Amino acid sequence: MITRKFARLIQRQFITQDKLNLIIEEANRLNIYPEELLLDHGIPKHEILFALAEYYGYPFVEYDEKLTASYLIAIHLNMERHKKELWLPIEIKENTAKIVIYNPERTSVIEEIKQAMCVEQLDILIALPSDLIRIIENSFDVNPGFSQTAGRTPLAKVRTFLANRRSYLSCYRASLARGRTGLAFLRTGIASIIISLTLFRIFGIGYLLILELPLLIAGVVMVIDGIKWHMGARNTGKTMPVCSGTEPTWGTTFLEVSNTEDEPVFKRTAPVPDADNLRAKWNNLSPVMRRRFLASDRTDMAEERTILACYRTIMARARTGLAFARTGIAFIGLGIALFRQFHAGPWTILDFSLIFIGSIMIMEGFYWYFPGRKAGVVALESFKTAGGKATIWDFVFPLPALRKDNITESNLTQPTYIPFVKPSHSPGIWATTGLALERTLLADRRGVMARLRTIMARSRTGLAFIRTGMSIASVGAGLMVYFGTDSLGWTIFNLFLLMIGFIAIADGLYWHLPAERIRKTLPYCFGEMEITMADYGTPARFWSKTTFQQ
């Protein structure tokens, strides 16, 4: 029966009966469709389609990007099922469904299609298996061999969840900033309380109560308010997410999102076979195929920005921890100063309480700091790694040509490359593919800015460590200057504080200075600079164009 399908090929002498039998036997052995082997043996595609149309009595279609199932139909279909069964509904009108199918002789399948589509009649079109698979994949907006989740709509869904996570991370950072403000308020309140109590310990009850009492009340109010602000940030810090990401692959793998009802989980698929070769042939890709790769690129870039935002949030928590540690240092310094200044007595309980509370605060502050330190190290490494990666331009202008009139002895080892443009060219934005490219380039620019913000966050964390070191060194120096060096034990303690402070300052400079050097190399941190962007709210004819010249 199979050979009858190709009787036209024998009649038109494209193949002999014996050779056809051998091809069919080989197809059965390899478990592939005989039409594909006929194509491999040089039989013209249109002749095979004419043979099938003559045998089945239905018209045929070939793969065309314009031939797709409507969106309202596709959302209810399963791509892998249709690729396996080799049929696809294109449209439904009243009681008739137009379908593309490989083998309409399967009566049971035809009846299942009618029931699934809730129609009584089918308008049938014939297609070769390879063409039909591409029609199905194109209807689901994926490139050859990609799964259904690689379509632009699922990828847009992933980017939406990534954007939502970045919003949550920004809320974390705002809460942590509020906590640091609360700690500043707390330190101010403690200073007011200590001043009022010190005056009271020196002068006792007298007319200075007019000053001491308001200072005490104001200090207590500020301490309570500062603690309330900080506790909110402390609770936020306990629920920080883990910063984890995947390695982008320029469209050979893609991100998927799951567990969207609770906490979204992002994972990367296995490599798609031959996707790297497909991507390498950028100039031969259709506009739709390019847009699909660009959508995957934007998703990968969104993931990188999300991971960098997570690093910045972890470092913000570290800065909050350092602010907590500085508050503890202030407590310890005040407690030691009061204990050494006044004789032992009932107030000594307050002195030791300040020292004890300060010690607890320092330990918790540095407990928050160390994860931030790790995030800062990883962030710097990711910045350095990103600088050596390929960019979108490596695919837009693949393998640039070496200008023959520019070859000299000095540049033979380091040739000068140029894009494929001429002085008369004025590249702009063309249709939806050009807009997709422009969005991808803007996403790449946002990625560069996100890297810079992360490096600057590392710099701020280094400055916070410098401030912490200066606080520790100031306490040691202040105690040594005020009380002198008569006591060997206290002198050693003060020198120890100075040493710890200087180490912290040196470590902070180690973080801050490289970040400052990187900041100066990127063009986003200078005053009076404006970046011109395309305004998609105005007609394209009003957009300015950039001209590339040789």
The residues spanned by each domain of the chain are 1-57, 60-140, 152-399+429-524
Quick one: how many helices (H) and strands (E) in the chain?
17, 7
**Which class for 147: exposed (0-12), middle (13-18), buried (19 or more C-beta within 10 A)?**
middle
The span from the CA of 336 to the CA of 291, in Å, is 67
The span from the CA of 275 to the CA of 251, in Å, is 7
State whether the Cα torsion 329-335-338-340 is positive or negative. Answer: negative
Mind giving me the DSSP string for 439-476?
HHHHHHHHHHHHHHHHHHHHHHHHHHHHHHHHHHHHHH
Whether this prediction's pTM lies above 0.85 is answered by no
| Lookup: tokens for 423 | 């002085």
Give the 3-state secondary structure of residue 235.
helix
Beta-bridge mates of residue 258: 265
The span from the CA of 255 to the CA of 317, in Å, is 28
* For helices 209-238 and 287-341, angle between their N-to-C axes, nearest 10 degrees: 140
Report which residue type is found at 536: Y
Measure CA 158 to chain center: 10
CB count in 10 Å sphere of residue 538:
9
Q: Which residues contact 436 (CB under 8 A, 6 or more apart)?
A: 290, 291, 294, 295
Give the 3-state secondary structure of residue 423.
coil
Which H, E and C letters describe 334-397, residue by residue? HHHHHHHHCCCCCCHHHHHHHHHHHHHHHHHHHHHHHHHHHHHHHHHHHHHHHHCCCCCHHHHC
Report which residue type is found at 36: E
Q: Which residues contact 482 (CB under 8 A, 6 or more apart)?
A: 337
Confirm if 335 and 358 have CB atoms less than 8 A apart.
yes
Q: Which residues contact 392 (CB under 8 A, 6 or more apart)?
A: 294, 297, 437, 440, 441, 444
The span from the CA of 466 to the CA of 444, in Å, is 33
Measure CA 102 to chain center: 41
Q: CA-based diameter of the chain, in Å?
A: 123
> 3: closest CA among 44, 46, 51?
51
The span from the CA of 65 to the CA of 58, in Å, is 21
Residue 528 pLDDT: 46
pLDDT in tens, the chain (550 residues): 567 888 888 888 888 888 888 888 888 888 888 888 888 888 898 988 999 999 999 999 998 888 888 777 887 888 888 888 898 998 888 888 899 999 888 888 888 888 888 888 888 999 999 999 999 988 888 898 888 888 888 899 999 999 998 888 888 888 888 888 888 888 888 778 777 877 777 777 777 777 778 888 888 888 888 888 777 777 776 677 777 778 888 888 888 888 877 778 888 888 988 888 888 888 788 888 888 899 999 999 999 899 999 888 888 888 888 888 888 888 888 788 877 777 777 777 877 887 888 888 888 777 777 777 788 888 888 877 777 777 777 766 655 444 444 444 444 344 444 445 455 544 444 567 777 888 888 888 888 888 888 888 888 888 888 888 888 888 888 888 878 887 888 888 889 888 988 988 898 888 888 888 887 777 665 444 444 445 555 665 565 555 433 3
| Lookup: tokens for 386 | 């990103």
The span from the CA of 50 to the CA of 498, in Å, is 91
CB count in 10 Å sphere of residue 365:
22
Q: Domain 60-140 classified CATH 3.30.300.160?
A: yes
Mind giving me the DSSP string for 152-168?
HHHHHHHHHHHHHHHHH
Residue 247 pLDDT: 83
CB count in 10 Å sphere of residue 392:
18
> 178: closest CA among 310, 314, 320, 315?
320
| Lookup: tokens for 280 | 């390498």
**Which class for 452: exposed (0-12), middle (13-18), buried (19 or more C-beta within 10 A)?**
buried
Residue 128 pLDDT: 92
The span from the CA of 495 to the CA of 489, in Å, is 10
